[in-house]
Amino acid sequence: MRILVAGGGSFIGAYAIRRLLRDGHEVVVYDVNIHDNAIHRILDPSDLRKIIFVRGDVTDGLAVVSACLEHRIDNIVHLAAALIPECANHPAYGVRVNCDGLNHSFEAARLLGVRRVVWASSIAVYGPRTVYAQDWLDEDAPHYPTTVYGACKSLNEFMGRHYFERFGVDNIGLRFTVVYGPGRLRGAYPYQLNRELIEKPAVGLPGAIPFGDTLIDWQYVEDAARAILVALYHPQSPRSRVFNTCGDLRTVREAAECVKRILPDATIHVQAGSDPMSIGKIDARKIREELGYQPEYKLEDGLREAINTYRRWAGLPEVGGT
């Protein structure tokens, strides 16, 4: 297959692309930054040489369609996004990137007969856990987004259903949780967690994090990437248009304790308290039942792999941990 990855220079995109290349597919990366992005830090030069890079903006619908036409694209993976801080500070820009940008991939698929669009939604469509009566949130739980980013993702889910029902555009949205791992450069709270709990301790620097009693669904980036491929490769169009994905449910404090078991000399200051805006427990039964996906990484395994990757990048020896 030849796959266009919109926002392919991104954190999750880099890991998904590495898997696609190893499965023998041709990848076209469509991104505003094709020279110095997360993908350049994560992929080996040998993998980067296999990729066709196209500099382009997802807000330019004609350019998206032209790239798909020129490169004879079979499938689209859409990961381009303005994240929570960007959307809060520049809401009009956030809507253009997150909503218009995805619609341009849907339009390209409609006009050119692209087989499937797999795209990134988010658990940010949900509200804080305190507004729900149920403990576990499935795909049918109501949306109460508290950010412009979350509201954009909610609209995207509506548009995905519309494009499928009205035009037959096969598309699958994946609601990612808190994705962590080596190379994360953006994303407000997820980036803070990654930097303070993993990246800094891995190289001997102290970390500090608030809201230590907050329950987090930790999703290792390799699992997020694999979810994309499972959705892309699924032979039939599934019953559902959007799926919750998930990882390992632990508090921030428990994650810090895992890090200290791997790095006994690590200094991590974890403040007490729970974030009142945190989202509840995510029910991911539907993706298991319809697509056959479930995460492979326990938190300990993901943290150890991430820590050792950061240590390799810094020229430090790997650690074992227990």
Segment 97-122 shows an average pLDDT of 98
Token digits for 276? 């009142």
What pLDDT score does 141 carry?
96
At 208-243, the pLDDT tens digits run: 999 999 999 999 999 999 999 999 999 999 999 999
Q: In whole numbers, what is the pLDDT of the chain averaged over residues? A: 95
At 246-286, the pLDDT tens digits run: 999 999 999 999 999 999 999 999 999 999 889 989 999 99
Query: Can you give the residue ranges of every domain in the chain?
Result: 2-178+219-244
What pLDDT score does 321 carry?
58
As a whole number of Å, the CA-based R_g of the chain is 19
pLDDT over threshold 60, residue 72: yes
As a whole number of angstroms, the longest Cα–Cα distance in the chain is 58
> Given pLDDT bands bounded at 50, 70 and 90, which one contains residue 191?
confident
What pLDDT score does 320 carry?
81
Segment 86-110 shows an average pLDDT of 97
pLDDT over threshold 90, residue 34: no
What pLDDT score does 185 carry?
80
pLDDT over threshold 60, residue 322: no
Q: Alpha carbon of 96 to those of 99, 101, 267: distances in Å?
A: 6, 6, 41
The C-alpha atoms of residue 176 and residue 160 are separated, in whole angstroms, by: 16
Nearest to 199 by CA among 88, 309, 111, 87: 309
- Please give the class, per CATH, of domain 2-178+219-244: alpha beta
Q: How many CA atoms are closer than 13 Å to the CA of 268, on its beta-carbon side? A: 32
Q: Phi/psi zone of residue 223: left (φ > 0), alpha (ψ -120 to 50 degrees), beta?
A: alpha
At 140-179, the pLDDT tens digits run: 999 999 999 999 999 999 999 999 999 999 999 999 999 9
Segment 73-89 shows an average pLDDT of 95
Burial of 162 (0-12, 13-18, 19+ CB in 10 A): middle
Segment 191-218 shows an average pLDDT of 94
> Given pLDDT bands bounded at 50, 70 and 90, which one contains residue 189?
confident
Nearest to 254 by CA among 291, 312, 299, 221: 299
> Given pLDDT bands bounded at 50, 70 and 90, which one contains residue 75?
very high
Instruction: Return the amino acid letter for 80.
Output: A
